[in-house]
Amino acid sequence: MMRQWMSSRVVGLDIEASRVNYAEVSQHGGALTLKQGGTLPVGPGGNAEVLKALAPRISEGGIDIVCAISSPELVVRPFRFPRVAQKEFQKAIRMEAEAAILDGHTLEEMVIDWHRTGSVPREGMEGVLAVAPRAMVSGQMEMFHKAGLHPAVMDVRALALWNGFWRLTPGTKTGSGPTLLVNITGEATNLIVAQGKQGLFLVRDLEIEAHAATGDWLSEIKDSLAYARSKSGLKKLDAAYITGSGAQESLAAKLASAIGLPVPVWDPLRYLPPEQNGSGPRITDGRALSVAIGLALRKL
């Protein structure tokens, strides 16, 4: 869900119930640095109040804003169609969206978006389809507009997470296999299993937050991986990581035991040094900024 880019600078905004995370990434000679970033707690005035306070810092100078959505009602899946004319492609996307809609919604109640990730010569067209409740998307945009902010892109939280991981982590571009990323916050868990730039096996959002991450949390993750094996062709995981504002070593250890793989805590600032003359306080723990950094890297 995108409008035209207006600036060379991009700020990623990741909205949680109890905090707003923001990040801006700079690129100089191929090297990436964190220009600004941080977390602002949400008070009695809610997210709207925090966004209004943050707006002067991130809206001056024509900075583009990228935000993200997540919800159990959000459906994200890869598609691959035979090579067809554009008119037929639009019909195929609509049919795929209708098949993806969860019970209780109609197509008219949903926003449909897709991104072409490339084409297979003489064989077909492939990409990623996202289907989200229109009321959720409209509510998010209204909140930004009331704060005087106008996002250029509304992304999917799990896809933004993968974008940051893939761009920053050494080895992800050189043949690493399917990887599970778990982003856990104060109100939800976002899952993605992907490989490289375009290989997507699973995106799922769970309404299970860090303090409730017990047996049910592990069961939901294992069930999600089983679904990816049966529906998306996932054979086995090569690696798994946990990140986000609720990521703790204790949760990583529980997840590692459940899936039979080491699960380190992923901190993007391990690979993204702060800019020498960047604005704001020096940040040493970047787990809460994982999604915001992935959003900020959307254009770079």
Q: How far apart are CA 221 and CA 199, in angstroms?
A: 19
3-class secondary structure, 128: strand
CA 88 remoteness from chain centre = 29
- Give, as one character, the DSSP assignment of residue 265: B
Tell me, letter by letter, the H, E, C secondary structure of 150-207.
CCCEEEEHHHHHHHHHHHHCCCCCCCCCCEEEEEECCCCEEEEEEECCCEEEEEEEEC
Question: Over its length of 300 residues, how does the chain's per-residue pLDDT go in tens digits?
Answer: 655 666 778 999 999 999 999 999 999 888 999 999 999 999 998 999 999 999 887 866 678 999 999 999 999 999 988 888 888 999 999 999 998 887 778 889 999 999 888 655 566 788 999 999 999 999 999 999 999 898 999 999 999 999 999 999 987 766 689 999 999 998 999 999 999 888 999 999 999 988 888 889 999 999 999 999 999 989 999 999 999 999 999 999 999 999 999 999 999 999 999 886 655 566 778 999 999 999 999 988
Q: How far apart are CA 171 and CA 158, in angstroms?
A: 20
Q: How far is CA 209 from CA 111, 188, 206, 244, in A?
A: 26, 4, 8, 11
Crossing angle of the two packed helices 215-231 and 249-259, in degrees rounded to 10: 50
- Give, as one character, the DSSP assignment of residue 211: G
Q: With 0-12 CB in 10 A as exposed, 13-18 as middle and 19+ as buried, what is 236? A: exposed
> CB of 21 within 8 A of CB of 291?
yes
**Residues pairing with 39 in the sheet:** 21
pLDDT tens track for 48-97: 999 999 988 786 667 899 999 999 999 999 998 888 888 899 999 999 99
CA-angle at 283, arms to 280 and 286, nearest 5°:
125
- Assessment of whether the complete model's pTM goes beyond 0.85: yes
HSE-CB of 290 using CA atoms within 13 angstroms = 28
Q: Which domains does the chain have, with CATH numbers?
A: 10-71+136-296 (3.30.420.40), 75-131 (3.30.1490.300)
pLDDT at 263: 97
pLDDT at 125: 85
Q: How far apart are CA 257 and CA 96, in angstroms?
A: 36
Q: 105-119 as b/e, with b when 16 or more CB fall inside 10 Å?
A: eeeeebbbbbeebee
**Residues pairing with 128 in the sheet:** 78, 115
pLDDT at 135: 95
